[in-house]
Amino acid sequence: MNMMRTALLLAAMTALFGVVGGLLGGQSGMMIALVIAAGTNLFAWWNSDKMALAASGAREVDASTAPELVSMVAELARRASLPMPRVYVIDSEQPNAFATGRDPEHAAVAVNTGLLNMLNRDEIAGVIAHELAHIKNRDTLIMTITAALAGAISSIAHWGMFLGGNRERGGLGPIGAIAVAILAPIAAMVVQMAVSRSREYEADRAGAEISGNPMALASALGKISGGVAHIPDENAERHPAMAHMFIINPLNGSGMDNLFSTHPNVQNRIAALQQLAQQMGVQPQASRTGFPGGGGAGRRGPWG
């Protein structure tokens, strides 16, 4: 099913490339755009994880530089029957996290320092388990390719706006090019939405089962949502095509972000986790992750 969704996503993004190229440069523009799309698809398949990590400013950590974090990821990966992913830390005060990689053997988990400082140990475990669920479900390939292609579509549309379109070859001309520059990124965002919302609910459920504590993940989602609303992330704002990769949309403040949100409503996600906790027999105050020390995670050394 995930391979089929990936194929459909690639087809939709490639078609969007062609449409944008055709509107800006006529038949020749469409052919050029399709060639660029094919190259971008191939490049994104192998390199989109590196692009996402570089764009976010992530730095890799290991057992010597972030022992508690790496140990936690290793234990949760073992519970999920996954290979150990690479672990990254992003120096951002906004609490957030994402996973990337084309398959479980080439996966990475990236965590903002703001999340490590704001959440307690069980909540951090819940977030990491959520990201590992994305890896196990092979959602990360879809997320990273979508981010790469959406960014490329926005770039080609804006280049077309500056070049004014090519009316002599069937393009829309300057006014049409401006319209395409506005509408093409929105169309790319709609494609992102089509594959995103149900995936987050599934990762919440699977992540709660991996960590053993749905209420810890529910609590984490509430804290992250509140933090995102008040703490901007400059890297995320510069790379909005990556927004759907994070556990909570990192973009701040615009109505457009809410209208075209790539994530389900946080309160709905929390309600679903509360229902799952009842089914699992987990009490609201219970700490069942198996990780000692439920206090704050503000100690920079062990967490990275």
Q: Alpha-carbon distance 157 to 161, whole Å?
A: 6
Question: How far, CA to CA in Å, does 298 sit from each of 2, 115, 303?
Answer: 37, 9, 8
Question: What number of CA atoms fall less than 13 Å from residue 269's CA on the CB side?
Answer: 28
Question: Taking residues 118-131, what's their average pLDDT?
Answer: 97
Number of domains in the chain: 1
pLDDT at 270 (0 to 100): 96
C-beta of residue 97 within 8 angstroms of C-beta of residue 112: yes
Q: Is residue 298 part of a domain?
A: no
Residue 301 lies in a domain: no
Q: Are 210 and 79 in contact (CB under 8 A)?
A: yes
Whether 300 maps to a domain, the answer reads no
Asked whether residue 111 is domain-assigned, the answer is: yes
**Contact yes or no for 250/228 (Cβ under 8 A):** yes
Residue 244 in domain: yes
Q: What is the residue range of 105's domain?
A: 2-290
Q: Report, as an integer, the average pLDDT of 81-107.
A: 95
Confidence grade of residue 136 (pLDDT, cut at 50, 70, 90): very high
Q: Which structure tokens are listed for 96?
A: 């957030």
Residue 190 lies in a domain: yes
* Within-domain flag for 303: no
Q: Strand 58-61 relative to strand 97-100: parallel, antiparallel, unpaired?
A: unpaired
pTM for the model: 0.75
Which residues are the active-site residues? 131
pLDDT at residue 288 in the model: 45
Determine, yes or no, domain membership for 115: yes
Range with lowest mean pLDDT among 15-24, 29-38, 83-92, 254-263: 254-263
